[in-house]
Structure 1
Amino acid sequence: MSGDHILETQDLTREFKGFVAVNKVNLRVRRGTIHALIGPNGAGKTTCFNLLTKFLQPTSGRIFFEGQDITREAPAQVARRGVIRSFQISAVFPHLTVLENVRVALQRKYLGPSFQFWRSERTLNVLNERAMELLHAVDLQRYADLPAVELSYGRKRSLEIATTLAMEPRLMLLDEPTQGLGIEDVDRIRQLIKKVAADRTVLMVEHNMSVVSSIADTITVLQRGAVLAEGPYAQVSANPAVVEAYMGSANVELQGAH
């Protein structure tokens, strides 16, 4: 495995009762880049993410992170290595404040491995400075005392990125980070991903080709669970097989994205 690559899969395969959802995928994610995983609906993108974060075990194949074979490790072990994932559906504690949401994510690193919601306010206050730094990073500092339920959907996604950053990821996996967002929020999240990727590696599943074309260094296209094409956006978007795979898809427009 090359030292340039933080994550690598070898013939990664997952079958469900005879249906091959992920088929011998060889993925190499270069350290310090934004790598996008795209494909039509049902291409196997989310299943691939579930395999990488060990929510699913592969039927066959291997996964390496930082040169170590993590194929049979549990999700918690993989997370401790620094592979941290966000989900398609915003996952925040709605009735905690924005600041408190980030403090929960910070607890493991600073206060030990068990999440103790009953800790005294004074104990948790030691996390406030770092929590506010993270909120500044995602431009949510002015909402620190607001219950998370009152945030707009786009800002909830920003909060989720802040809580993901609190886990100090070495590899950040973002699952459809702009799904369901309006144009203004999409641009905010696009800029945020670019900002947080300045000193870490990001692997993202994303339908929005405008986002992918503007920030991804490398794009891997999946179709029917297998790699159809890989490369920079200009190369992938001009590939006749990729254009054909997307023809008729209402979700994606390969041409004309900026």
Structure 2
Amino acid sequence: MTHANMILETRGLTREFNGFTAVNGIDLRVRRGTIHALIGPNGAGKTTCFNLLTKFLTPTSGQIFFDGREITRAAPAAIARQGVVRSFQISAVFPHLTPVDNVTIALQRPLGVSYRFWKSSTMVRSLRERALELLGDVGLAAYADVKTVELSYGHKRALEIATTLAMDPVLMLLDEPTQGMGHEDVDRVTALIDKVSKGRTILMVEHNMKMVSSIADTITVLQRGEILAEGDYAVVSANPQVKEAYMGTEDASLAH
């Protein structure tokens, strides 16, 4: 039986590719209402693990539980309906629409109604108001009517978070939210994730240790498909095996 305060749990999660074990018997427990980061050097299995949790891949063996229910074989759409939402990659945002249109479309997904079929202008107006609120939450109010394609990289990532929030996730899954960003954008997106985490759970794959150290409640360090260490930043950064695993990478320094 799963623990009531664990929103997501895996048991013996394993994935093999042609005889190579990318994820090997992982027991992951994500506590409700926390920010949980999955980190590790390149090739550690972070992305494979994330793809298993978001149903992009099927495990070779092991089980996944969400909110006490087994979802190991559930379809991606079924878990999305239960409130597990993976942040859309930038490519999934419509580049030639405005941010407000992108968020409005995302708001309609849970309703299962296609954008062009809206007849009621009242409905369109209320959805637009909600979309503008969400854009305000992620600092994009001033860019609501600019073409998405013209936004900076950091602003596009913020829009991604807004479209994910539009689906009102219970568990929000973020895939390297600060990848490819300069310091200013990293700080902005870190603050944004911290802000939107109130009242929900966030699991993110991230490579930026400084960013993770500032907001993650729990950090799981993967190495060669297995859990190397787990705990808060103080525990994980003091672990000699973690220090060793990170030596020689861009994250060689675990300090702030």
Q: Same fold (TM over 0.5)?
A: yes
Q: Encode CA deviations 1:23-67: one digit per residue, 9 max, x unaligned.
A: 000000001100000000011111111101111110000000000
Shift of the alpha carbon at 1:105?
A: 0.2
Name the structure 1 match of 2:198: 198
In structure 2, the residue corresponding to 1:199 is in which secondary structure? coil
Cα pair 1:209 1:253 within 8 Å, conserved: no
Shift of the alpha carbon at 1:118?
A: 5.6
Shift of the alpha carbon at 1:125?
A: 2.9
Name the structure 1 match of 2:15: 14
Quick one: structure 1 residues 89 and 148, their matched pair in 2 at CA, closer, same or farther if it must change by over 3 Å?
Answer: closer
TM-score, normalised via structure 2 length:
0.95
Shift of the alpha carbon at 1:90?
A: 5.4
Shift of the alpha carbon at 1:89?
A: 4.8
In structure 2, the residue corresponding to 1:202 is in which secondary structure? strand
Name the structure 1 match of 2:87: 86
Task: Map 1:5-154 to 2 at 5 A.
Answer: 5-86=6-87, 89=90, 91-109=92-110, 112-117=111-116, 119=118, 122=121, 124-154=124-154
TM-score, normalised via structure 1 length:
0.94
Name the structure 1 match of 2:161: 161
Name the structure 2 match of 1:211: 211
Q: Encode CA deviations 1:88-113: one digit per residue, 9 max, x unaligned.
A: 6553211001100000100123xx31
- Hey, what's the Cα distance between the residues in 1 that align with 2:191 and 2:210? 12
C-alpha RMSD of matched pairs (Å): 1.4
Q: Encode CA deviations 1:103-157: one digit per residue, 9 max, x unaligned.
A: 0100123xx3143346458353331111111111101111111111111100000
Cα pair 2:229 2:236 within 8 Å, conserved: yes
- Hey, what's the Cα distance between the residues in 1 that align with 2:240 and 2:89? 29
Quick one: structure 1 residues 125 and 195, their matched pair in 2 at CA, closer, same or farther if it must change by over 3 Å?
Answer: same
Q: Encode CA deviations 1:157-187: one digit per residue, 9 max, x unaligned.
A: 0000000000110000100000011111000
- Hey, what's the Cα distance between the residues in 2 that align with 1:194 and 1:116? 31
Segments of structure 1 that go 5 or more residues without pairing to the other structure are: none
- Hey, what's the Cα distance between the residues in 1 that align with 2:186 and 2:35? 17
Segments of structure 2 that go 5 or more residues without pairing to the other structure are: none
